[in-house]
Amino acid sequence: MVKLKEIFLEKINENKDLNKREKKLFVGVDIGRLKNQVAFLSKDRNADLRKREKVENSFWGFMKLLEYIEELIAQESITMENVIIGIESTGHYWKNLYNFFLEKNIEVVMVKNKTVKLKREIKYPYKGKNDSLDSVCIALSLKDDDYIRIRKSNENYESLRILSKIKDERVKANTQNKNRIIKWLDKHNQTYLKTFVDPYCKTGIALLKCFPGEADIKEKTVDEIIEILRSNNSKNKLQYRKISEYYELLIDILNNIKEIPIGARKEIENLIRLFEDTENYLETLQKDIDELSNEMELPVERFSRLKGLGKNEILDLISEIGMIENYKTSKHLQAYCGLRVIAYKSGEYQIKKPKISKAGNRKARRILFYMALILIARNPDWRKLFAYYLSYNRENQKSKKEMLIAVASKLCRTIFGMLKNDTEFDRKLLFRGLDFSKCNKERFINEYVGEKRNWVITDEELEELFGKSNTKKLF
């Protein structure tokens, strides 16, 4: 079982959703890679409407399941609108079934794995676990309204998410490959690392392709080396001054350097080929992402104007969030990103320290956390917010990591408001509701300017936040 990453975790409220009262046929499906176990329950009866079936997890199996549902619709004198299908989150195996019945206008919802487990322990405590039993427990969960809606999406958002995922995988693979290049250079060509500050620059890569080993330039002048590089790299402008520096470092020690073995030569040849192919592919992939975002008319430029936020981070986050219409309030988006705070109390006694749920989309939470770090480091308004959280007078002082999570949560709510209302960033809304009179002013200033005193806060800024009294600098 996997965590629900693509599901909008919104509990259906009976008082707000009248459609639930219309559901009369509950179909529980325990999803498998090849076979699905199906149970059928009615609203008015506890027993199965018909025997439990096992169908293929394929188009033909879905057609067979549709036949069973149509038979029961005729038998119970109901309509398709009265049918609801419940599934468990089982990898990606449920998606084809969901898409098939979505086209047939039959509602398909998700039941949490924990809900099925608890239902099985309560209803059938002595029967163990099997697929047939799980399908019944899923159907029972539907009857008790213990399910969640599947988050809506469309082809463009799905494509953007896939492209973003491919990009992340390629960047990760490219980073690993770069580390292997550095490892090779440490063993076979340390002079290269002394010469080139950026070991992956075009001039350096061109040199490694032609002369990977230090001894490869024996019996050659610097002009001959440059001519060879020029003939092999006619499209790229190379820094020939760096080639001269590299040659001068080696000229006095060439007689003491050995040729690199054939294995090492083939290894660096393979690593450079992988590096160049990946760099070219990433460049093409980024163009595809930019074209798709322009086609979708995403408000990327609006967020980019917020100092500290980059275009790529915004696109990655939007690809994970998906359609903003799926979230009624900012709290729903915050919960989807796993930033909802969970408290553990019994009466007045606190059992555990409150913490974020970490449920939902892990990647979106990681992006928000990274963006919060960048904003605190580069944006004065968000740095003031971080200093406010740290200097606020509390009974139990919070750590910097906890306050960083608070900034990420605030950023999540801000992004929701900008997307939902189609508005620009408003710094007044950022500080709305904050009471600076309850802050330790000296600590606020110390936290803002930082340990290295890289930041400066003026009297005017302090007056704006704390008022006119006592705005003298404390540093």
Tell me the mean pLDDT in the region 423-448.
90
Q: What is the tens place of the pLDDT at every residue in 310-341? A: 889 999 999 999 999 999 999 999 999 999 88
Q: What is the tens place of the pLDDT at every residue in 73-115? A: 999 888 899 999 999 887 889 999 999 999 999 999 999 999 9
pLDDT value for 474 = 32
C-alpha pair distances (Å), 54 with each of 4, 31, 37, 75, 132:
25, 10, 5, 21, 9
* pLDDT over threshold 50, residue 16: no
pLDDT value for 64 = 95
Whether 101 and 83 have beta carbons less than 8 Å apart is answered as: no
Residue 296: Cβ-neighbour burial (10 angstroms; 0-12, 13-18, 19+):
middle
The length of the chain, given as a count of residues: 475
pLDDT value for 10 = 45
DSSP β-bridge partners for residue 85 = 27, 108
Tell me the mean pLDDT in the region 357-382.
92
Task: Give me the sign of the Cα torsion angle 320, 324, 328, 329.
Answer: positive
Long-range contacts of 412-417 (CB under 8 A, 24+ apart): 412/330, 412/333, 412/334, 412/337, 412/339, 412/368, 413/330, 413/333, 413/334, 415/303, 415/317, 415/333, 416/324, 416/327, 416/329, 416/330, 416/333, 416/334, 417/330
DSSP per residue, 58-86: SHHHHHHHHHHHHHHHHHHT--GGGEEEE
* pLDDT over threshold 60, residue 19: no
Tell me the mean pLDDT in the region 9-18.
42
pLDDT value for 169 = 95
Q: What is the tens place of the pLDDT at every residue in 233-290? A: 766 778 888 888 988 888 878 778 888 999 999 999 999 999 999 999 999 999 999 9
Model confidence at 8, pLDDT cuts 50, 70, 90, reads very low
* pLDDT over threshold 60, residue 124: yes
Model confidence at 470, pLDDT cuts 50, 70, 90, reads very low
DSSP per residue, 19-34: GGGG--EEEEEE--SS
Model confidence at 50, pLDDT cuts 50, 70, 90, reads confident
pLDDT value for 362 = 92
Tell me the mean pLDDT in the region 422-432.
90
Tell me the mean pLDDT in the region 37-63.
89
Share of the chain above pLDDT 70, in %: 93
Model confidence at 292, pLDDT cuts 50, 70, 90, reads very high
Residue pointed to by tokens 């038998």: 75
pLDDT value for 469 = 42
Residue pointed to by tokens 């740095």: 383
Model confidence at 12, pLDDT cuts 50, 70, 90, reads very low
Q: What is the tens place of the pLDDT at every residue in 143-202? A: 989 998 888 888 899 999 999 999 999 999 999 999 999 999 999 999 999 999 999 999
pLDDT value for 21 = 52
Residue pointed to by tokens 């509950």: 26
* pLDDT over threshold 60, residue 222: yes
* pLDDT over threshold 80, residue 7: no
